[in-house]
């Protein structure tokens, strides 16, 4: 698929490192982080597992891109805080109509997705403890959730 050079991220220009990529995919829990979409990002098609996940920059990877913020350096542009995981359709949509999808909206999507996962993990833990079953959440969501619970308990 060809992309408009103004819309494309230069290969390596603001790419996240491996650790950041793993954090992003863990934080997505395998779903598009656009709350109006929530498509599964990993799909089984004819016995083959494919992914439609894309890491979208909140603030553009380069100065000619959508939602540009020239004050960000290369590392900040490729940082976890500046990226959101979307399905291919949502990524295309937010980059082709950036005025309709401002940075504040995209950051809210990411934050709300995280909050939703925390609540779902908590519900699993509570239900598990009530029924005597062991319920666990794993990955970054669990670590974030346990950190959240620890902070709340300390209050």
Report if residue 145 sits inside a domain.
Answer: no
Instruction: Give the residue numbers spanning the domain of 48.
Output: 18-110
pLDDT attached to residue 119: 84
What is the per-residue pLDDT for 124?
Answer: 67
CA distance 135 to 127: 8
27 within a domain of the structure (yes/no): yes
Q: Are 58 and 84 in contact (CB under 8 A)?
A: yes
Digit-coded pLDDT (tens) for 109-124? 999 999 988 888 776 6
SS3 61: coil
Domains identified in the chain, total number: 1
Quick check: is 82 in a domain? yes
Give the closest residue to 61 by CA, choosing from 40, 38, 82, 92: 82
Task: Say how far apart CA 37 and CA 33 lie, in whole Å.
Answer: 8
| Residue 7 pLDDT greater than 70, yes or no | no
Provide mean pLDDT across the span 84-108: 97
What would the pLDDT profile of 72-88 be if each residue is shown by its tens digit?
999 999 999 999 999 99
């Amino acid at each position: 698929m060809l992309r408009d050079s103004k819309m494309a991220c230069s290969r390596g220009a603001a790419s996240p490192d491996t650790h950041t990529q793993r954090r992003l995919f863990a934080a997505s829990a395998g779903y598009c982080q656009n709350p109006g979409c929530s498509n599964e990002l990993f799909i089984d098609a004819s016995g083959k597992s494919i992914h439609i996940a894309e890491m979208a920059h909140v603030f553009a990877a380069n100065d000619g891109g959508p939602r540009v913020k020239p004050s960000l350096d290369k590392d900040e542009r490729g940082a976890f805080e500046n990226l959101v995981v979307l399905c291919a359709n949502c990524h295309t949509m937010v980059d082709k109509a950036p005025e309709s999808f401002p940075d504040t909206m995209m950051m809210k999507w990411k934050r709300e997705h995280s909050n939703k996962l925390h609540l779902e993990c908590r519900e699993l833990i509570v239900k598990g403890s009530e029924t005597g079953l062991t319920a666990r959440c794993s990955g970054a969501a669990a670590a974030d959730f346990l950190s959240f619970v620890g902070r709340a308990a300390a209050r």
